[in-house]
Amino acid sequence: MANQEHVDKLKQGVEVWNQWRKEHADAQPDLSEANLERINLSRANLREANFYRANLSGVKLIEASLLAANLREANLREADLTCAILDGADFTGAITDNCMGCPSQGSHRERDLY
Protein backbone atom coordinates (compact mmCIF):
# COMPACT_ATOMS: atom_id res chain seq x y z
CA MET A 1 0.00 0.00 0.00
CA ALA A 2 1.27 3.46 -0.91
CA ASN A 3 2.59 5.97 1.57
CA GLN A 4 -0.25 8.52 1.56
CA GLU A 5 2.18 11.39 2.26
CA HIS A 6 4.07 10.50 -0.93
CA VAL A 7 0.85 10.27 -2.97
CA ASP A 8 -0.40 13.63 -1.65
CA LYS A 9 2.95 15.31 -2.36
CA LEU A 10 3.00 13.96 -5.93
CA LYS A 11 -0.54 15.18 -6.58
CA GLN A 12 0.56 18.72 -5.64
CA GLY A 13 2.43 18.86 -8.94
CA VAL A 14 5.81 18.14 -10.44
CA GLU A 15 7.50 21.31 -9.20
CA VAL A 16 6.51 20.62 -5.58
CA TRP A 17 7.40 16.93 -5.95
CA ASN A 18 10.85 17.58 -7.45
CA GLN A 19 11.65 20.09 -4.70
CA TRP A 20 10.59 17.55 -2.08
CA ARG A 21 12.85 14.95 -3.73
CA LYS A 22 15.81 17.37 -3.56
CA GLU A 23 15.14 17.92 0.14
CA HIS A 24 14.69 14.17 0.79
CA ALA A 25 17.35 12.70 -1.48
CA ASP A 26 17.47 9.39 0.40
CA ALA A 27 13.70 8.82 0.28
CA GLN A 28 12.40 5.89 -1.77
CA PRO A 29 8.87 6.92 -2.72
CA ASP A 30 6.25 4.26 -2.10
CA LEU A 31 3.44 4.76 -4.60
CA SER A 32 2.47 1.10 -4.76
CA GLU A 33 -1.18 0.50 -5.61
CA ALA A 34 -1.80 4.28 -5.85
CA ASN A 35 -4.41 5.58 -8.28
CA LEU A 36 -2.57 8.23 -10.30
CA GLU A 37 -4.73 7.92 -13.40
CA ARG A 38 -4.37 10.66 -16.03
CA ILE A 39 -2.15 13.08 -14.10
CA ASN A 40 0.77 14.92 -15.67
CA LEU A 41 4.10 13.79 -14.22
CA SER A 42 6.26 15.03 -17.09
CA ARG A 43 9.82 15.81 -15.96
CA ALA A 44 9.17 14.35 -12.49
CA ASN A 45 12.03 12.79 -10.54
CA LEU A 46 10.60 9.33 -9.89
CA ARG A 47 13.96 7.63 -9.51
CA GLU A 48 13.72 4.38 -7.51
CA ALA A 49 9.99 4.93 -6.87
CA ASN A 50 7.83 1.92 -6.10
CA PHE A 51 4.81 1.82 -8.44
CA TYR A 52 3.98 -1.85 -7.83
CA ARG A 53 0.40 -2.44 -9.03
CA ALA A 54 -0.21 1.33 -9.32
CA ASN A 55 -2.79 2.70 -11.74
CA LEU A 56 -0.82 4.91 -14.13
CA SER A 57 -3.24 4.66 -17.03
CA GLY A 58 -3.18 7.76 -19.21
CA VAL A 59 -0.39 9.34 -17.14
CA LYS A 60 2.03 11.69 -18.89
CA LEU A 61 5.59 10.77 -17.93
CA ILE A 62 7.31 12.67 -20.73
CA GLU A 63 11.02 13.19 -19.90
CA ALA A 64 10.43 11.83 -16.38
CA SER A 65 13.22 10.00 -14.56
CA LEU A 66 12.10 6.45 -13.79
CA LEU A 67 15.64 5.24 -13.22
CA ALA A 68 15.50 1.93 -11.30
CA ALA A 69 11.76 2.36 -10.64
CA ASN A 70 9.59 -0.63 -9.74
CA LEU A 71 6.71 -0.72 -12.22
CA ARG A 72 5.91 -4.42 -11.70
CA GLU A 73 2.27 -5.15 -12.50
CA ALA A 74 1.50 -1.42 -12.90
CA ASN A 75 -1.25 -0.33 -15.26
CA LEU A 76 0.43 1.87 -17.88
CA ARG A 77 -2.37 1.60 -20.45
CA GLU A 78 -2.27 4.68 -22.72
CA ALA A 79 0.52 6.30 -20.66
CA ASP A 80 3.13 8.45 -22.41
CA LEU A 81 6.76 7.76 -21.47
CA THR A 82 8.26 9.59 -24.44
CA CYS A 83 11.93 10.40 -23.71
CA ALA A 84 11.62 9.11 -20.13
CA ILE A 85 14.74 7.73 -18.45
CA LEU A 86 13.99 4.03 -17.98
CA ASP A 87 17.41 2.52 -17.20
CA GLY A 88 17.00 -0.26 -14.65
CA ALA A 89 13.22 0.16 -14.44
CA ASP A 90 11.31 -3.08 -13.91
CA PHE A 91 8.18 -3.45 -16.05
CA THR A 92 7.61 -7.16 -15.29
CA GLY A 93 3.92 -7.94 -15.61
CA ALA A 94 3.00 -4.32 -16.37
CA ILE A 95 0.02 -3.57 -18.61
CA THR A 96 1.45 -1.50 -21.45
CA ASP A 97 -1.37 -1.48 -24.03
CA ASN A 98 -1.14 1.64 -26.22
CA CYS A 99 1.67 3.00 -24.04
CA MET A 100 4.02 5.36 -25.86
CA GLY A 101 7.66 4.72 -24.97
CA CYS A 102 7.02 1.63 -22.84
CA PRO A 103 9.18 -1.42 -23.33
CA SER A 104 7.17 -4.43 -24.49
CA GLN A 105 7.74 -6.37 -21.27
CA GLY A 106 10.15 -7.16 -18.44
CA SER A 107 13.04 -5.11 -17.15
CA HIS A 108 14.48 -2.29 -19.21
CA ARG A 109 18.22 -2.12 -19.22
CA GLU A 110 20.47 0.02 -21.32
CA ARG A 111 21.76 -2.12 -24.17
CA ASP A 112 25.48 -2.88 -24.17
CA LEU A 113 27.13 -1.72 -27.35
CA TYR A 114 30.11 -3.78 -28.52
Q: What is the rounded CA–CA span in Å between residue 25 and residue 55?
A: 25
Tell me, yes or no, if the pTM score tops 0.85.
Answer: yes
Render each residue's pLDDT in the chain as its tens digit; 114 residues. Answer: 999 999 999 999 999 999 999 999 999 999 999 999 999 999 999 999 999 999 999 999 999 999 999 999 999 999 999 999 999 999 999 999 999 999 865 444 443 333
Three-class secondary structure assignment of the chain: CCCHHHHHHHCCCHHHHHHHHHHCCCCCCECCCCECCCCECCCCECCCCECCCCECCCCECCCCECCCCECCCCECCCCECCCCECCCCEECCCECCCCECCCCCEECCCCCCC
